[in-house]
Amino acid sequence: MGLDTELEDRIRQTSPAQQNVEFTLDELALLDGCVAGEISHTKDRRLQKKLDRVSERIRGLLGMFEEG
């Protein structure tokens, strides 16, 4: 399952200066899955490391809202 175009557009339209994009928990989970897929398919080690950091941040956010 890929990233839907509305979510992708929202990410692309956010300038680096803003640094904040609002997501629902479902959107964050979808985004994490897409990032994980990219990590497993790229052979570029530097890109893998960057994507790993993105995934860690997403999982941290998701963990904040998990029911204990």
Evaluate if residue 68 carries a pLDDT over 60: no
- Domain count along the chain: 1
pLDDT value at position 14? 82
pLDDT value at position 7? 83
In a domain, residue 62? The reply is yes
In a domain, residue 38? The reply is yes
Evaluate if residue 66 carries a pLDDT over 80: no
* Segments forming the whole domain that contains residue 60: 22-68
Distance CA 29, CA 40 (A): 17
In a domain, residue 3? The reply is no
In a domain, residue 47? The reply is yes
This prediction's pTM: 0.77
Per-position b or e across 5-40, b if 16+ CB within 10 A of its CB: eebeeeeeeeeeeeeeeeeeeebbebbbebbbeebe
What digits encode the pLDDT tens for the residues 14-53?
877 777 888 899 999 999 999 999 999 999 999 999 999 9
Residue 19 Ramachandran class (φ > 0 left, ψ -120 to 50 alpha, else beta) = left
